[in-house]
Amino acid sequence: MESLAVTALLALISLTAALDNGLLKTPPMGWMAWERFRCDIDCKDDPENCISEDLFKRMAERLAEDGWKELGYEYVIIDDCWMSLLRDEQGRLQPEPSRFPGGIAQLARYIHDRGLKLGIYADMGTYTCMGFPGTTLEKIEIDAQTFASWGIDYLKFDGCYSNPVEQLLGYNMMSKALIATGRPIAYSCSWPVYVGGLPPNVNYTLLGDICHLWRNYYDIQDSWDSVQDIINWFSNNQDDLQPAAGPGRWNDPDMLIIGNFGLSVEQARSQMALWAIMAAPLIMSNDLRNLDNSARAILQNRVAIAINQDPMGIQGRRLLQEKSHIEVYWRPLSHSASTLVFLSRRTDMPYLYHTSLAKLNYEAGNYEAYDVFTGSTVTGLNANTEFTLSINPSGVVMWYIYPEQQSKDTETLYYHQHKTASQFTFHRAKPGHHTVL
């Protein structure tokens, strides 16, 4: 019976209009509460860190005042645990008044006044994952209207306490309901993770017509093991996942945990590099009030961000897994450029990796390579030239690569970031400053 119901719902959903409202032509960037602050609702004993309007105001201030907004980090996203345990007399969701005394609409105005956008969380089910009121099928329309009336710009729609049939119908219904409000709201769906994340359970062509982005896999945790697990799953299933991504429709491997407690500096660079390769949303979950300089430098790396935000929107791929526990990832970019990431899965010592661009499927010719994390440039790099890289344990070397003729045509290469009007500049190398051994 369930298979017949699923077939019927698929037929219904196939008639939906595409969610093409011009949003998220590049992956979204911003900050989200969940991984760092979870469901801390104890504002009596932990007022600085509890899920409250004050927390989101402080994070918005940091985004606006510390250089994040100019780089494209524009969304401030509330996750679970913001709600009152009861809907109001009209059946609408409402924030917990002791923690959000000004209400969500006032918070949205505070966020918007700083040139930022506000996201919120709901769940396609009886309850949210943490037990707050869910959005059952009959509540979808009123919840969409409520969010729009508050000035919400982004909805994360989870899927706890529901079954696959309800999810399949509900995610489509919410897409239509958001469109019907007339307000442009970015729509993040969690449905794939609840049904295994892969075809035939997930029709990514269909999903791309309903949602702007979607969570494919389990929640990230604050550890290198968790980051590696996500990278493994995305790479092992890239033939299914990679074609689904593009402007306005993104695979989401979950939040950036850089600046928390679980990653070394090398591992933090690795997450930033792989998220850029995967054209993943760059949604931080950390405490922006207390970031150290190394975490800030990684998250604000203009070249890594520009690669992530490439307007072609092609998700990268893993090219190689070596017996030496070195992996190579590649992503094509605009203006005949590309990026390579050399990732070490080793835990012992820096590894000397020998290769050439020709071995990595590059066409004959001369290239230049900009090292994203050191700022050095390698010039005169022929495709057949063997080179050696030193890659630290659990670390990366990340190159932005372009044909040498391109650098001769202009003294400076410009890489346009879609989310802001700024231009990221790649300067020609100073002689002798190279990463190649």
Span 125-137, pLDDT tens digits = 999 999 999 999 9
Tell me what pLDDT residue 405 has. 79
| Cα–Cα distance list, 71 to 64, 104, 303, 422 (Å) | 10, 26, 10, 8
In the chain the domains, ranked by start, together with CATH numbers, are: 2-300 (3.20.20.70), 317-426 (2.60.40.1180)
Average pLDDT over residues 305-331: 98
Annotated active-site residue 254? The verdict is no
Span 286-301, pLDDT tens digits = 999 999 999 999 999 9
Residue 5 has pLDDT above 50, yes or no: no
The rounded distance, in Å, linking the Cα atoms of 409 and 165 is 56
How many residues are present in the chain?
437
Nearest to 56 by CA among 128, 101, 108: 108
Question: Considering the chain, what is the average pLDDT of its residues?
Answer: 91
Residue 35 has pLDDT above 60, yes or no: yes
Residue 9 has pLDDT above 60, yes or no: no
The rounded distance, in Å, linking the Cα atoms of 376 and 426 is 10
Residue 308 has pLDDT above 60, yes or no: yes
Tell me what pLDDT residue 411 has. 36
Span 359-379, pLDDT tens digits = 999 999 999 999 999 999 999
Residue 19 has pLDDT above 80, yes or no: no
The catalytic position among 40, 54, 66, 219 is 219
The catalytic position among 123, 143, 158, 310 is 158
Annotated active-site residue 113? The verdict is no
Q: Is 432 left (phi over 0), alpha (psi -120 to 50) or beta?
A: left
Residue with tokens 């409250």: 52
Tell me what pLDDT residue 21 has. 79
Residue 436 has pLDDT above 70, yes or no: no
Residue 1 has pLDDT above 70, yes or no: no
Cβ count within 10 A of residue 347? 9
Residue 424 has pLDDT above 60, yes or no: no
Average pLDDT over residues 312-338: 98
Average pLDDT over residues 256-260: 98
Residue 152 has pLDDT above 80, yes or no: yes
Three-state DSSP class for residue 393 = coil
Residue 434 has pLDDT above 50, yes or no: no
103-113 and 140-150 helices cross at what angle (nearest 10)? 50
Tell me what pLDDT residue 431 has. 31
Three-state DSSP class for residue 187 = strand
Average pLDDT over residues 199-217: 96
Average pLDDT over residues 75-103: 98
167, 134 Cβ separation under 8 angstroms: no
Residue 7 has pLDDT above 70, yes or no: no
DSSP assignment of 21-64 equals: SS--SS--EEEESHHHHTT---TTT-TTTSSSHHHHHHHHHHHH
pLDDT level of residue 36 (50, 70, 90 thresholds): very high
Residue 201 has pLDDT above 50, yes or no: yes
Three-state DSSP class for residue 363 = coil
Average pLDDT over residues 335-353: 98
Tell me what pLDDT residue 82 has. 99
Q: Which is higher by pLDDT, 10 or 386?
A: 386
Tell me what pLDDT residue 429 has. 36
